[in-house]
Chain A
Amino acid sequence: MKKKTLITLIVGTIFIIGSGVIVYVKRPIMNLENIELVKNNDTNPVAESENIEETKEEGDTQDENKDSEQVVENKEVVQQKVIDTPVSNNVDEPTSDPAPAPETVATKPSTNPQKNIFSLQIVAQHNSSTNCWTAINGNVYDITSFVSQHPGGVDKISRLCGIDGTAQFTNQHGSTKKAQASLSLLKIGQLN
């Protein structure tokens, strides 16, 4: 076999193996260990999402006549309430003891967005344009690299840093597919 062919084969093999490793490491699957840990902490993700929906509906009916700023504030409060309240089937049941933070809440992103479950408090720590995380529609995004490239200017996007920016994003971009697609590239995890 010619020397050149051999080298080509070796390099090609290294390329294919390396690509396979990259695809395996970065694959977007749910981490089963995290799900187990969530169950152990007596939190039910399904019930939690239902809880969010129900509470949002309540908030919407109560605030129909209020202006958009108040709605934004309410949504943030609702998110905060959901995080601080243990999950139960009865939404209206008042609680005095705040729930301990689940062990699965991450403080920094891993390479797999599906692994990371962040609380709003963690997102709030990344509140500058040089370290900018935001939560939109239950997902957490690291938009730091996009801040300087935002077509609408740095100021507008910087307002989303460290907060649940669902309302602002929806108001500005609605269901614009282009914005949604750009956003999906920056996803680092999900909101707790």
Chain B
Amino acid sequence: MNQNSLKLLRFGYVVLFAWFGVMQLLYPQMWLSYLPEWIGYLPIPGEMLVTLNGWFEIIAAIMLLIGVHTRIVSFLLAMHLFFIAYTAGGAVGMRDFVLGILGISMAMCSVDDWTLDSR
């Protein structure tokens, strides 16, 4: 994969997770219905879980943006998406599954030259 393709893929992932992360942090109530039912058995408020998930996604997006541990973060985000795809199912699940595959492909490539990893 050439450098520009990798950059495009990485920035696409940054925008994706930054947007979802900020939205989950600001409006956790909106995202509660996407949580799987079994979360309700846990003694943790749904809003807290959504907010924590949003925070994780924002930090991961920042790490991808500056290019620190790019391949590890890409792999983690891909696993995160696979988990969401499995629990959500349906059209949303299929979309997240494909996005996860993009993350795996990014994790398998060498990093581009706009990352701190390459310095």
**A residues bordering B, Cβ < 8 Å?**
3-4, 7-8, 11, 14-15, 18-19, 22-23, 26-28, 109, 111-113, 142, 145-146, 149, 177-178, 180-186, 188
* Interface magnitude class on chain B: 20 to 34
Give Cα distance in the complex from A139 to B80, angstroms.
32
Within the complex, what minimum Cβ distance (angstroms) separates A156 from chain B?
16
Residues of B within 8 A of A146 (CB): 32-33
Partner of A185, one of B46, B51, B52, B62: B46
* Bound CA–CA A104/B47 (angstroms): 22
Interfacial residues, chain B to chain A (CB-CB below 8 A): 29-33, 35, 37-41, 43, 45-48, 51-52, 55-56, 59, 62-63, 66, 68-69, 116-117, 119
Contact A183 to B68, CB < 8 A, known contacts A15-B55, A15-B56, A149-B33? no
Residues of chain A contacted by B69 (CB below 8 angstroms): 8
| A22 proximity list for chain B (CB < 8 A) | 48, 51-52, 55
Least CB separation from A10: chain B residue? B68
Q: Which of A3, A18, A22 is most buried by chain B, counting CB atoms within 10 A of its CB?
A: A22
Say yes or no: A7-B116 contact (C-beta < 8 A), given A19-B55, A145-B32, A149-B33: yes
Partner of B59, one of A18, A177, A182, A188: A18
Contact of A14 among B29, B33, B35, B59 (CB under 8 A): B59
> A4-B116, A181-B39, A185-B46 are known contacts. Are A26 and B51 too (CB-CB below 8 A)?
yes
Which residues from chain A contact B33 at a C-beta distance below 8 Å?
Answer: 145-146, 149, 185-186
| A113 engages B48 (CB within 8 Å) | no
Q: How long is the Cα–Cα vector from A47 to B66 in the complex, in angstroms?
A: 59
Number of A-B contacts (CB under 8 A): 73
Partner of A184, one of B30, B40, B52, B56: B40
Partner among B35, B40, B62 whose Cβ is within 8 Å of the Cβ of A11: B62
Given contacts A15-B56, A185-B46, could you give 19 more A-B pairs where the C-beta distance is less than 8 Å? A4-B68, A4-B116, A4-B119, A7-B66, A7-B116, A11-B62, A22-B51, A23-B48, A26-B48, A109-B29, A111-B47, A145-B29, A146-B32, A146-B33, A178-B37, A181-B38, A182-B37, A184-B46, A186-B33
User: In the complex, what residues of A have CB within 8 A of residue B47's CB?
Assistant: 26, 111
**In the bound complex, what is the Cα–Cα distance between A183 and B40 (angstroms)?**
8
The answer to whether A11 and B68 touch across the interface, beta carbons within 8 angstroms, is: yes
Partner of A182, one of B40, B56, B62, B63: B40
CB contacts (< 8 Å) of A184 on chain B: these are 40, 46
- With both beta carbons as reference points, the residue of chain B lying nearest to A183 in the complex is identified as B40
Given known contacts A113-B45, A182-B40, A7 and B56 CB-to-CB distance under 8 angstroms: no
Known: A14-B59, A186-B32. A7 touches B68 (CB 8 A): yes
How many angstroms from the CA of A146 to the CA of B46 in the assembled complex?
13
Known A-B contacts A145-B29, A181-B38; A3 and B52 likewise in contact (beta carbons under 8 Å):
no
